[in-house]
A and B are shown apart, each in its own frame.
Chain A
């Protein structure tokens, strides 16, 4: 039961260009969506989030877009930098209310090429 799907296991982008990571979800009850970044041998690190009542949230080089009708969100990184190379997890929460757990996608490995 994959409620959160990241269909691209990996993505290669040239340094300086835009990276677009995509995520789809099936549960319309999710209240908020997040992107986490993970380097090898480290835990996930929170990157950016968006509430279900918004369609865009921007933080520096990172922008998350939410299309509720399509149950789709995306993370844009512009310009991409070598340090952005990592695994990016899409996550969603709030469907159960309270301290329910986040549902993660399988991740997309972003590789920034010089």
Chain B
């Protein structure tokens, strides 16, 4: 199973919105509603941000939102803040396994 494709980096100024894409195939992203997004700050464990394409865990900021169209899922961060600077990974169920994305470094300018 090949990794899902994400842009290597995305940047934005404080207050702006950014979107990170996650492209797979009909065998993973396009075939299931089980797409998740994780935030990983330097030296820390990943943290679940979005599950099942667009659901936020309890207590998570509503500045984070997820969507999917065809074989591509997206994570949007609105009202970008300095604390959002981190690596972000998508993942998808594939019917029998899980595959992660290549990861995106978000920089707040």
Q: Do A and B come from one complex?
A: no
Chain A residues within 8 Å of B, Cβ to Cβ: none
